[in-house]
Structure 1
Amino acid sequence: MTAYDPARPPAPRHQFNTAEHRDWLRADARRQFAFFKASSRSRDGYHLLDHDGQPLKTDVQELHTTTRLVHSYALGKLAGVPGCEAIIDHGMAYLWGHHRDCDHGGYLWALNGPKVTNGRKLAYGHVFVLLAGASAKLAGHSDADRLLDDVTAILERHYWKDDAGLFADEWARDWSPFSTYRGMNANMHGVEALLTAYEATGRERYRQQAGRILDFFVGKIAPLENWRLPEHYTGDWQVDRDYAGNPMFRPAGTTPGHSFELARLLLQYWDLSGRPDDASRDAAWTLTEQALTDAWDQQKGGLFYTLDFDGSPAICDRYWWPVTEAIGVLASFLKLGGSSAQRDWYARLWQFADEHFMDHDRGGWYPEIDSQGQPTATQFMGKPDIYHSVQASLFPLIPTLSRMTDHLPGLLRD
């Protein structure tokens, strides 16, 4: 690993839309798809992989892992990567035959063989089922429609709150009340899934719901919170400043990586809505710029995981996924012409990822680094998924802000 040096100019392979950069991105995407093919196993579900691509010793199958692999390999199939169909088939069968709760409806969070190890019904998991179904449909999978229709009905019946224009978060397995917690994360990924479902089906309902979620977080909450997005809310959608759940999955305060994701999704929604003459572009950049300014570690590089409400660092650990999401939204702005500052940020983030997160020898990205910038394993075992990192490599190769799958065919074909 190379020590972070803020004065070192980025290499040509980190510069947006150069031929060298595009070739470099394609090579990384191919390495990632090749590495994660080892996720398939002969029995039900998927393997989780260590840094070398060997299966970890666990049989636990979690809903977000299954759905993200289906989504990612649907992109790979469209891009011309050989062998993706078997992974998609495996995941679609497991979603329908195992995660789907035949007793109560909906989708179970975690299984170990035939045993349900966590039967909670989380909006976060269900919107990823919607994403998997939509991506599988775009890739031409024969079972995509039944999955899409089933999970859409579940989301409408149990999660969507039309008075607020937002998704509620969680239920017990039998749909009895579990908590009054409300969160941004499930809704943000809900926008991602709804926009993909809109692109796959043309159903206006999906686009409208995505717009209402964006209106709440970007139109209402962000300006009141100095463009830092609180993660946690009460049952009546008031910011819950005292909430502190799981420090990895529901940390207190704000998570700048989610600002990047939501900003990119706002631009995708704006594009799908005909690019109206409104404040979407400015709002997306304000969100992005605030998160970059607050979260970038000036001494060591990388992005702090969480911030307090005043923008000061809270959890200073540095993970791969906020970097990938910042790359995605900056690529969006550069597709619109961009600025020199946006171009510099884009190259700086790729330089840091290249030197600290990307595994050029084996494929995949290391999920976390220590204080010296070396791969470590405190929160994550192995390489947890392909989802964030492969999209960071694919999205800058696509000329548009939306309908990415229209431009994937043949992109990674040798």
Structure 2
Amino acid sequence: MKTPALPAESWLQRPAHLSWLADEGTRLLSFAQASRVEHGFAALDANGQLPEHACAELIHTARMTHCFVLAHIQGIPGHAELIDHGVAALQGGALHDAEFGGCFADATRQGGKSAYLHAFVALAASSATVAGRPGAGVLLEEAIAILEKHFWSEEQGALRESLSRDWQQEEEYRGANSNMHATEAFLALADATGDSLWLLRALRIAERLIHGHAAASGYVVVEHFDQAWRARPDYSEGNRADPFRPYGSTPGHSFEWARLLLHLEAALQRAGLAAPAWLLTDAGGLFASAGRDAWGADGKPGLVYTLDWSSQPVVRARLHWVHAEAIAAAAALLRRTGEPVYEDWYRRLWEFVAQHFIDLQNGSWHHELDDDNRPASSIWPGKPDLYHAYQATLLPRLPLAPSLATALGCVTGL
């Protein structure tokens, strides 16, 4: 595949913009370091402080560990010990279930095991292994064993959603979100292990969820399914603003999938494997559909959180992660196609983020805006997440393959 040249005026080729991305990433990292707690990493409030009863959570511990690895690989001091703290928490700390295997959702050690969270454990383990951190290889082996034994369905070519703590009872649900993050993790696993089986598994997931369901639905990602992968369009109708399983379509996931399809295409080609043409076609379709339907859907700038099945806004809040993923997807499509429309989107999105999300007074980004683009907290209180915003500062500066940790280890001058 010959990659088209970027437009001469592209921000992706301007040293000042690339320097700004690096500076913004460093600012985000500085804020997130305060999330360390005894058993991992916890959610921060809007001012970057730990709440009184802060508790280590698996999602934050895995994501923070992954991001701190990416900083360490670049040569940004102050993150090695944080990585090791995260690896230890995931491998044998309070988040780890020594009796049945896998990890708890938080340090209270209650509830079952979810594919969504274990995909992030595999991502963190892959990144830490690439960085050569102590204990990372063992964590990677454990993460792979859990995925293969309990979550991966060879018959369905996708992940089961969640199971009880002892793995004996399975939820009667299949989700696109967990499988999307599994696709990301599988790309990283392929690089960390050298085993292209993970790329073929990622392709099977994408073929089912995107080239199958989404392409047949006007390039709208169908999120919720039963165990037989029959769509459940009415799922969460009574809880429309759920932060993980909302009703309707989630345009942010369309952007995220668009980017992942391009990473998968590049990774397959890099491994000498066939990359179907629909990966690029579907990536463009997903981005076009989400941009058309979600931007200004209520007459005001920004991307709304969710849409109904007639492309009308349901939850009008603007979430930071949606815009971060749209930025990364625009950069990926711009790098892959060279088409000016993606340059236009890339600039528009960063201008909106700079104006409304970036918090230069208290740090990090506002995680949520209301429908008047004012800071809000109805869905996401505080500023608990580093992962989406930080990756949005990295991905535009990197090739589409290999995956982030491996790419940062190969590329200099960032």
- CA contact 2:172–2:227 (8 Å) conserved in 1: yes
1:147-184 Cα distance to aligned partner (Å, 9 max, x none) = 11112111111111111101010111111224211110
Q: Does 1:351 align with 2:351?
A: yes
Cα distance change on mapping 1:376 and 1:263 into 2, 3 Å: same
Deviation at 1:277, TM superposition (A): 6.2
Q: Does 1:129 align with 2:121?
A: yes
C-alpha separation in 1, matches of 2:401 and 2:354: 24
Which of these residues, 172, 177, 184, is aligned with residue 185 of structure 1? 177
- CA contact 2:31–2:364 (8 Å) conserved in 1: yes
Matches of residues 236-251 of structure 1 in structure 2 within 5 Å? 236-244=228-236, 247-251=242-246
Which of these residues, 75, 78, 81, is aligned with residue 80 of structure 1? 75
C-alpha separation in 1, matches of 2:198 and 2:132: 20
Could you say what the CA RMSD is over the residues aligned between the two structures, in angstroms?
Answer: 2.1
Cα distance change on mapping 1:302 and 1:412 into 2, 3 Å: farther
State the partner residue of 2:101: 105
Residue type of the partner of 1:264?
A: R
State the partner residue of 1:10: none
Deviation at 1:252, TM superposition (A): 1.2
C-alpha separation in 2, matches of 1:411 and 1:373: 37
- CA contact 2:222–2:249 (8 Å) conserved in 1: yes
C-alpha separation in 2, matches of 1:125 and 1:239: 22
State the partner residue of 1:257: 252
Unaligned segments of structure 1, at least 5 residues: 1-12
Which of these residues, 219, 229, 232, is aligned with residue 221 of structure 2? 229
C-alpha separation in 2, matches of 1:125 and 1:399: 27
- Aligned residue for 2:311, secondary structure, equals coil
TM-score normalised to structure 2 length: 0.91
1:286-308 Cα distance to aligned partner (Å, 9 max, x none) = 11110111111163211111111
State the partner residue of 1:4: none
TM-score normalised to structure 1 length: 0.91
State the partner residue of 2:194: 202
- CA contact 1:14–1:21 (8 Å) conserved in 2: no
State the partner residue of 1:395: 395
Cα distance change on mapping 1:406 and 1:165 into 2, 3 Å: closer
1:127-151 Cα distance to aligned partner (Å, 9 max, x none) = 1110110011111112111111112
C-alpha separation in 1, matches of 2:147 and 2:399: 32
State the partner residue of 1:8: none
Count of equivalent residues: 397
Residue type of the partner of 1:19?
A: P
Which of these residues, 159, 167, 175, is aligned with residue 159 of structure 2? 167
**Higher mean displacement: 74-83 or 374-383:** 374-383
- CA contact 2:173–2:227 (8 Å) conserved in 1: yes
1:260-313 Cα distance to aligned partner (Å, 9 max, x none) = 111111111100111746222121111111011111116321111111122221
Deviation at 1:317, TM superposition (A): 1.1
C-alpha separation in 1, matches of 2:206 and 2:216: 15
C-alpha separation in 1, matches of 2:413 and 2:401: 22
Cα distance change on mapping 1:287 and 1:410 into 2, 3 Å: closer
- CA contact 1:119–1:173 (8 Å) conserved in 2: yes
- CA contact 1:28–1:363 (8 Å) conserved in 2: no
Matches of residues 6-405 of structure 1 in structure 2 within 5 Å? 15-41=11-37, 43-96=38-91, 97-112=93-108, 116=109, 118-244=110-236, 247-274=242-269, 276=275, 278-297=277-296, 299-405=299-405
C-alpha separation in 2, matches of 1:321 and 1:262: 13
C-alpha separation in 2, matches of 1:47 and 1:185: 22
Deviation at 1:110, TM superposition (A): 1.9
C-alpha separation in 1, matches of 2:163 and 2:257: 25
C-alpha separation in 1, matches of 2:346 and 2:413: 26
- Aligned residue for 1:230, secondary structure, equals coil
Cα distance change on mapping 1:197 and 1:409 into 2, 3 Å: closer
Identity of aligned residues (%): 37
**Higher mean displacement: 181-190 or 310-319:** 310-319
**Higher mean displacement: 129-138 or 366-375:** 366-375
Unaligned segments of structure 2, at least 5 residues: 1-8
- CA contact 2:333–2:342 (8 Å) conserved in 1: yes
Deviation at 1:412, TM superposition (A): 9.8
- CA contact 1:67–1:91 (8 Å) conserved in 2: yes
- CA contact 1:366–1:383 (8 Å) conserved in 2: yes
Residue type of the partner of 2:156?
A: A
- Aligned residue for 1:213, secondary structure, equals helix
- Aligned residue for 2:149, secondary structure, equals helix
Deviation at 1:188, TM superposition (A): 0.3
Q: Larger RCO: Structure 1 or Structure 2 (Cα < 8 Å, ≥ 6 residues apart)? A: 1
1:326-353 Cα distance to aligned partner (Å, 9 max, x none) = 1111111121242121111110000000
**Higher mean displacement: 238-247 or 95-104:** 238-247
C-alpha separation in 2, matches of 1:368 and 1:291: 19
- CA contact 1:131–1:197 (8 Å) conserved in 2: yes
Deviation at 1:220, TM superposition (A): 0.9
State the partner residue of 1:9: none
C-alpha separation in 1, matches of 2:256 and 2:169: 29
1:24-45 Cα distance to aligned partner (Å, 9 max, x none) = 111100101111111224x332
1:237-266 Cα distance to aligned partner (Å, 9 max, x none) = 010112117522111111111111111111
Deviation at 1:226, TM superposition (A): 1.1
C-alpha separation in 1, matches of 2:401 and 2:199: 15
Residue type of the partner of 1:365?
A: W
- CA contact 1:81–1:413 (8 Å) conserved in 2: no
